[in-house]
Structure 1
């Protein structure tokens, strides 16, 4: 695995973690019944008080913790917080790569200042961990809105019931709206896939899990390689899900918002075809995606044989083009999806 990118090259200046990262990698204090458990100032941005999220988690107000998921990243709980149903995510400390674990925790906050109907809202975050969760060896806690118990992966693969065209179009539109909002604020997700898109009880898709995200410098967003080098943008980081990862990232090239568009193309294919994108050896797939332009199959798939399906096939193939600049932007995608509603 490549050496992790220094945290100061991933985050805006006001979100740099303290050089004394030891205090971020283990609980700072144990919950003892106090109303709040404050984090030392040097562990959080000085401007936190003016932010839309809080750098203080009121642990006494965090009640009814129920585990709802876990993985290599840590664990997620459903809970009640200040009268609101929330999701609580603990970020696990990786013994093999502690810096990568810390970077993942801080990356969760890249969209913390942003509010959009199709992006999961961050409520509070802390480098502290309550004593009830210390056994998880976590380095931090993020309190987020609870968007429901379903994700797009379970919608696609958890039922044999067909997904109506109006429904998958609505899901796709929600995702692209969320991406467009993030990209307009310089945030790239870099791990977009059905499992990281939550579906609310009202059927609204919300982009979640920003542990692989980056905040791009303005000079890098529209400039070429020289602009990226001048702005100090590192090569693309390791991480994310290989089946949805753009070929330029697999080659270690610079990050742009078009990497998320590639991932969206794979996700849209899954929505229509409801199969896994690839089968076989991971390393062979990675090589073929880069060297032989391997993509999920579209020929012979019933989903692409209607008028709307053929329009969607064209769009999907543009999204996963090997040439990043030729992929459509999120605003352009919205226009194409809107036009697709007229096809039958």
Structure 2
């Protein structure tokens, strides 16, 4: 069954009058060197030419070799072949406890679908129209994305099998900030930046994934109030900005706070907090609790002290005191000569 949310929520306004629910796909174009990119279709609408970067319909007969690679609170991810290329397929499932939140999560996944950047996972197609042979009653919709790989930063940080020296964590953190700068420049706030939501490609490039908590701010707005109708806003409590915990407005600075916690994890390879969840939430807001930088040797070097200063700015309790992603990039660059 298609979602009751209207198709106008899924497609740009200049496209939805001509939506063909039958077969409207953006095929992958295979290049001679073996790589695949998305071919942008061009349509003539009411005498105008319009284009979009992703499709509202999936050619289900072209899907092959689906293999499960992971699952989360709102869906399962599969590796598959689509039109001759490897893709990731995400089924967004209904949450029996909060059906509204799971539906909102699906639409939030598409907030960055029209954007293209090397540090953001690319959406190829998305639809709520799923044939019985591919779907199930618990599925709200399906999203096809580029297949980045099976590794994420969470696995690299805590798996301990791979070295994570200064050059590597600095490169990873710079990748994340480049992605955030691009998202924020297009008024998209991710709201769930954490190591598990940063995929690492075979070329060792970080790509921001999982936009299920994201919000699209009004054009030209730097902050948006949290609507009481939005059940999915929040993200992971260990990385959630204090203003979100207090129910205040959403701004790109919430992502900067989450990045600060993620950067600390990249450097220390430790868990940010221990103890009861509610105690941590209360302490973050009321007592300015943050991950420890005092007793870790990695923060005692000259570079470590600069990192401590950078972290304290990123996870400031006041959003206005945090740097923007644009301001973070040169600050990260300043760490490089110290290696």
Q: Which residue of 1 aligns with 2:227?
A: 234
Q: Which residue of 1 aligns with 2:170?
A: 169
Q: Distance in 2 between matches of 1:175 and 1:219?
A: 23
Q: Normalising to structure 1: TM-score of the pair?
A: 0.82
* Deviation of 1:161 (Å): 4.5
Q: Distance in 2 between matches of 1:60 and 1:337?
A: 46
Between Structure 1 and Structure 2, how many residues are aligned? 304
* Deviation of 1:133 (Å): 4.1
Q: Residue deviations 1:110-156, cap 9 Å, x none?
A: 00000000000000001023434434611000000000110000010
Residues 196 and 204 of structure 1: CA distance in aligned 2, closer, same or farther (over 3 Å)? same
Q: Is the 8 A contact 2:106 2:141 kept in 1?
A: yes
Q: Which residue of 2 aligns with 1:151?
A: 152
Q: Which residue of 2 aligns with 1:326?
A: 321
Q: Which residue of 2 aligns with 1:248?
A: 243
* Deviation of 1:164 (Å): 1.1
Q: Distance in 2 between matches of 1:319 and 1:67?
A: 36
Residues 13 and 117 of structure 1: CA distance in aligned 2, closer, same or farther (over 3 Å)? closer
| Greater RCO, CA 8 A, separation 6+ | 1
Q: Distance in 2 between matches of 1:14 and 1:56?
A: 15
Q: Secondary structure at the match of 1:105?
A: helix
Q: Which residue of 1 aligns with 2:31?
A: none
* Range with bigger deviation, 126-135 or 198-207: 126-135
Q: Residue deviations 1:240-270, cap 9 Å, x none?
A: 1000000000000000000000000000000
Q: Which residue of 1 aligns with 2:302?
A: 307
Q: Residue deviations 1:8-27, cap 9 Å, x none?
A: 9xx79948xx9xxxxxxxxx
Q: Secondary structure at the match of 1:66?
A: strand
Q: Which residue of 1 aligns with 2:51?
A: 50
Q: Which sections of structure 1, spanning at least 5 residues, go unmatched?
A: 1-6, 19-28, 30-34, 39-45
Correspondence list, 1:276-287, <5 A: 276-287=271-282
Correspondence list, 1:255-274, <5 A: 255-274=250-269
Q: Distance in 1 between matches of 2:284 and 2:274?
A: 13
Q: Is the 8 A contact 2:64 2:81 kept in 1?
A: yes
Q: Distance in 2 between matches of 1:320 and 1:218?
A: 26
Q: Distance in 1 between matches of 2:83 and 2:163?
A: 39
Q: Which sections of structure 2, spanning at least 5 residues, go unmatched?
A: 26-44
Structure having the larger proportion of residues in helix = 1
* Deviation of 1:306 (Å): 1.6
Correspondence list, 1:1-344, <5 A: 14=12, 36=23, 50-135=51-136, 137-221=138-222, 228=224, 234=227, 238-344=233-339
Q: Distance in 2 between matches of 1:337 and 1:12?
A: 36
Structure having the larger proportion of residues in strand = 2
* Deviation of 1:97 (Å): 1.8
Q: Secondary structure at the match of 2:310?
A: helix
